[in-house]
Structure 1
Amino acid sequence: MFGARSMLPVLGLASLLLVGACAAPARPPAPPEPADTALAQFHAQEVVFGPCEPYASSATDEALYGSGRFDCARVQVPLDYAEPDGPRGEVALLRAKARGEKIGSLLVNPGGPGGSGMNLVASLGASWDTGPVGERFDVIGFDPRGVGASTPRVTCWTDAEIDRGVPPGPYRFDVPDERSARDIAQRCVQNTPGGVEALTSVGSVNVVQDMDVLRAALGDEKLSYLGFSYGSELGAMYAEAFPQNLRAMVVDGAVHPELSEPDFRLTQFTAWQETFERMAALCATGPDCALGTDPAQATERFQDLVRPLQDRPLSTADGRELTYDDTIEAVTLMQFAEAQWPVVVRALDELARGRGEPMLALRDLAVGRGPDGSYGGSLDIDANLATRCMDNPRRTAEEHTELGRQAFAAAPFLDPGRPLDRAHYECEAWPEPVDRDLPWLGGVGGVDGELPPTLTVSVTGDPGTPHEGGIAMARLLGGSLLTVEGVQHGISLLGQSECVDEIVGGHLIDLRTPPADARCSL
């Protein structure tokens, strides 16, 4: 992530790539008392912080981590919590130390799955340097297991392969057959250090357990937490598994906890189309809009502009090519904040003139490609896949194909214009079954009064995790809802809304609960 405003596409990507699901409920087991179990050694470990430069996993990280403002560490966790004396992994942390009297640590997750909390916290350094949250908390960004500087890191594809579009797209429905699905799983097993055991350890159930180890190892009796997008799932699951260990929690851009995976995906496609049409209406007010002057015709104009790239990618000045998939990624992800729409419109105008460089630059920003051609930093594509495959139920090819048809009907601007005869789920051949019980959140807010008040922040025009999900999350947590009028995915503590930041900071610092009708606007 590249700063408060430019980080938003990556948070958008986080919600684009995550999926939810529902099934017969089965609650996580009660957390053990670490003093009486083998987990005590993990809770009691000493965390030694030092310079962050060795933790950089991309050129972007190197630039962010070298400021000297932060320090970093690793915390050991069991690879398998059922066998705490077995192989171990390490969760990497980046800390912005509290400037004043410290309440404790604030654990931050940016979403994904696969998002780097280290990168996010470093990107928002100015917020911690000036705001009240950075004064009262050690702000801790962590790379979840499998991501970035944490080990073992999930590895499936090379940077060159990502450039060529080899990884499957979770919203492209582009895995054509069983062999391709098997190849995806086989590549990830072969390339990930630790093989199957490491690859299949990265599900959210284990990440939630890791969060409690981090809490204890950092010396906090109770956890304070801020989670965006997929990070809302982690926060809610933690609240359910460890209610007695939670001090304060803010979730922003909440995933709808009551929808099945296909239903949640379809709400996303619907929201993307609505956002595209809003952006097209803005474009139509300016001169020479590539989408035309009639917003009703914008989808067709967009299709006419980008579909030819499927057969004839556009060469760029640096020797690369702008592909259809590149363009779809750029437009979809960069429209996740209304402030960025003019940039997307200009890139479309340039594309209409035969220049692909601006669009390719947007795509690189959105997916975390550094100037040296390396991927990583803000979001780990490989870990994203592996976590989703351990969290969400498998689908048959027939079910996945039908989902694709419904998705393109809901968001026709994303329709490639070719018949979707058969598509296989990218997780179809994963070497282990899912390990998350579903639904991943029950009604935990009133369980014996154990769960403290929580705050859900939800933007009314959120293109990635629609507003209805925030309403449902607040209700199931039994907590407060802050409604934010606007079009954006992720807003808390980004320095873009004094109204939001004051309410979020008040909740985290003083445990203040906003009134039931609390509203802000962008």
Structure 2
Amino acid sequence: MLPRLSRPRVPRPALAAIGAAALVLVGACADAGSGTSAQAMQNPPELAQFYDQQLQWGPCNDYAPTADDQQTFADAQFDCTRVNVPQDYAQPGDGKTMQIALLRKKATGQKIGSLFADPGGPGASGTSFVSRKAADWATNGLGDRFDLIGFDPRGTGASRPRISCLTDAENDEERTKVFADPSPAGIAAAEADSRLFAERCTQRTGADVLANVGTRDVAKDMDVMRAAVGDEKMTYAGFSYGTELGTAYAEAFPQNVRALLLDGAIDPTQSTIDSTVKQNAGFQLAFDNFAKDCTNRPNCPLGTDPQQATAAFQKIMQPLIDKPVPVGDGRVLSFNDAQTGVSQALYVSQLWPALERGISEVASGQGRVLMLLADLYHERDQQGRYSNMIQAFQSISCVNQPALKDPAEALELATRADEAAPFRSTGRGPVGARDACAFWPVPPTTEPHTPEVDGLPPVVVVSVTGDPATPYQAGVDLASQLGGSLIKVNGNQHTASLQGDPCTDKLAVDYLVNLTLPPQGAECTLSPS
């Protein structure tokens, strides 16, 4: 069972590590408002035990979400804690709680407050994200003025309890499955696999936990975290799915917002079908941009005509459906893993050389590069251990979006997605199978809607013209919905701010530190990779 097309993680720094690994294979100023004075509003009395809790910060050694994080988390510049929150905000006194993991790097100068950050997913670890971004943010002024705080949303990373659906062996097995048969028997097989995934998640995580892991609940956790660290107002940077968290926080607590930087927007008004189709179209655009670059180079595996690149790609990839290729470690590269690896490389143009090499390998009967990219997407380490990111992604998505329970809707989605992204097509017709959300044990807690944010101070939205995962127009629309300012960024990657581009970073840092809004029509252009 493959998750529906992801609302992916931020490519940098997460993809910076991916880029380095894959490319080896191919050759502030005045105080802008206190963040530590009395609370901006009266905290809900029924939640006093959570809002008033005293945090016990300590070493981060036992908080690393993955083995790869352990060395970074051992650095003494970081400290960690867990914040207690109610499992169910409708029943805060029932004794059931969750613990949200936080990692902090203390401000080194005149402190404004805390900068909370989330890298997206849903399911990605915010503690890991901030631990890897801290050095960069120390040089751009953020580390001087803010305590930098990453958090693992409920169910993810080092937070407790964790969403758990599959063992490592089951994850490996799942990735080899390809459901490309559009016949009734093929659809039944695909749906049986989705149903099994839902059953395993329910058995191993618990329906009561799954019912309360959505954006609605994380936004409330964020306000508890704000109060627990002693901040009057929330300063937040959210990327990709992190923009959905920021939007939900703005709706629930507009009076508690100091600054929201939202980069790689999710449009809250879009239906499940529309958002998925538009994301597929975004990846096709990214593939087409890659193909234009590749076909201008010697020995491009897609030939010399960008107009024929999709057909050439299909000819190389579709045979994997029946004949996966070995990767040298006892595993084989399936059609699904190959497509995952390709999509991973389309997040940033820096990975285009790796993608070209990976496609060339498949054409010659090998699959090492694309499997590496797929492993990194799935957060599988060299020992075969997985984080819970993909499982959390699926579980959180199922309570964040209405399920497609009608087989006709599932077929519509498959058909429109195939048309929007033909480079991903199996060539055998759309498979109208319902995904795991159709068999989920609990209902969604969020529906598509226009956000109501009366009293929200100015926010800033960043949107990249060639973003494959969160298309540019969604950022334009979200800025309008929130009454915010838009920074347009010309480039080919997923998200852009606080990642080293001088133009985008200056506008973002000036806003976060000084609350200086970007000028109307603000526009930046990323340097070619």
Q: Which of residues 151, 154, 158 in structure 2 aligns to 1:145? A: 154
SS of corresponding position for 1:272? helix
Q: Which of residues 136, 140, 144 in structure 1 aligns to 2:145? A: 136
Q: More displaced, 304-313 or 149-158?
A: 304-313
Deviations 1:258-313 (CA, angstroms, capped at 9, x unpaired) = 32221111111111111111111111111211111111111111111111111111
Q: More displaced, 84-93 or 53-62?
A: 53-62
Aligned length: 493
Measure, in 2, the Cα distance between the counterparts of 1:89 and 1:117. Answer: 16
Asked whether 1:510 is paired with 2:510, we answer no
Aligned runs of 1:462-477 on 2, under 5 Å? 462-477=467-482
1:44 aligned residue: 52
**How far did residue 143 of structure 1 move?**
0.4
Asked whether 1:111 is paired with 2:116, we answer no
Deviations 1:20-77 (CA, angstroms, capped at 9, x unpaired) = xxxxxxxxxxx99655522111011011111111012311121321233311110000
Measure, in 1, the Cα distance between the counterparts of 2:129 and 2:244. Answer: 18
SS of corresponding position for 2:69? helix
2:202 aligned residue: 189
SS of corresponding position for 1:162? helix
Change in CA separation of 1:345 and 1:126 when aligned onto 2, cut-off 3 Å:
same
Measure, in 2, the Cα distance between the counterparts of 1:283 and 1:501. Answer: 29
Contact in 2 for aligned 1:79/1:198 (Cα 8 Å): yes
Change in CA separation of 1:430 and 1:363 when aligned onto 2, cut-off 3 Å:
same
SS of corresponding position for 2:81? strand
Change in CA separation of 1:519 and 1:451 when aligned onto 2, cut-off 3 Å:
same
Q: Aligned partner of 1:189: which letter?
A: T
2:371 aligned residue: 360
SS of corresponding position for 1:138? strand
1:308 aligned residue: 319
Deviations 1:182-225 (CA, angstroms, capped at 9, x unpaired) = 32221001111xx1111221011101100000000010011000
Q: Which of residues 429, 435, 441 in structure 2 aligns to 1:419? A: 429
Contact in 2 for aligned 1:257/1:472 (Cα 8 Å): no
Measure, in 2, the Cα distance between the counterparts of 1:421 and 1:381. Answer: 22
Deviations 1:88-126 (CA, angstroms, capped at 9, x unpaired) = 000001112111111111110111111111111112132
Measure, in 1, the Cα distance between the counterparts of 2:105 and 2:174. Answer: 36
Contact in 1 for aligned 2:399/2:443 (Cα 8 Å): yes
Measure, in 1, the Cα distance between the counterparts of 2:240 and 2:281. Answer: 17
1:59 aligned residue: 67
Measure, in 2, the Cα distance between the counterparts of 1:521 and 1:493. Answer: 14
Asked whether 1:127 is paired with 2:132, we answer no
Measure, in 2, the Cα distance between the counterparts of 1:159 and 1:123. Answer: 25
**How far did residue 128 of structure 1 move?**
2.8
Q: Aligned partner of 1:241: which letter?
A: A
2:218 aligned residue: 207
SS of corresponding position for 1:113? coil
Q: Aligned partner of 2:251: which letter?
A: E
1:342 aligned residue: 353
SS of corresponding position for 2:443? coil
1:500 aligned residue: 504
Q: Which of residues 377, 383, 393 in structure 2 aligns to 1:384? A: 393
**How far did residue 437 of structure 1 move?**
4.1
**How far did residue 353 of structure 1 move?**
2.2
Q: Aligned partner of 1:359: which letter?
A: L
Change in CA separation of 1:145 and 1:10 when aligned onto 2, cut-off 3 Å:
farther
Asked whether 1:436 is paired with 2:440, we answer no
Q: Which of residues 475, 478, 481 in structure 1 aligns to 2:486? A: 481
Change in CA separation of 1:294 and 1:6 when aligned onto 2, cut-off 3 Å:
farther
Measure, in 1, the Cα distance between the counterparts of 2:180 and 2:230. Answer: 41
1:15 aligned residue: none
Asked whether 1:83 is paired with 2:91, we answer yes
2:419 aligned residue: 409
Q: Aligned partner of 1:161: which letter?
A: E
Change in CA separation of 1:436 and 1:186 when aligned onto 2, cut-off 3 Å:
same
TM-score, normalised with respect to structure 2: 0.88
1:70 aligned residue: 78
Long gaps (5+) in structure 2: 1-8, 20-38
Change in CA separation of 1:96 and 1:170 when aligned onto 2, cut-off 3 Å:
farther
1:21 aligned residue: none
Change in CA separation of 1:480 and 1:175 when aligned onto 2, cut-off 3 Å:
farther
Contact in 1 for aligned 2:155/2:163 (Cα 8 Å): yes
**How far did residue 7 of structure 1 move?**
2.4
2:280 aligned residue: 269
1:296 aligned residue: 307
Measure, in 2, the Cα distance between the counterparts of 1:63 and 1:416. Answer: 41
2:36 aligned residue: none
Long gaps (5+) in structure 1: 12-30
Q: Aligned partner of 1:153: which letter?
A: R
Q: Aligned partner of 1:451: which letter?
A: L
Asked whether 1:165 is paired with 2:174, we answer yes
Change in CA separation of 1:9 and 1:82 when aligned onto 2, cut-off 3 Å:
farther
Q: More displaced, 173-182 or 419-428?
A: 173-182
SS of corresponding position for 1:124? helix
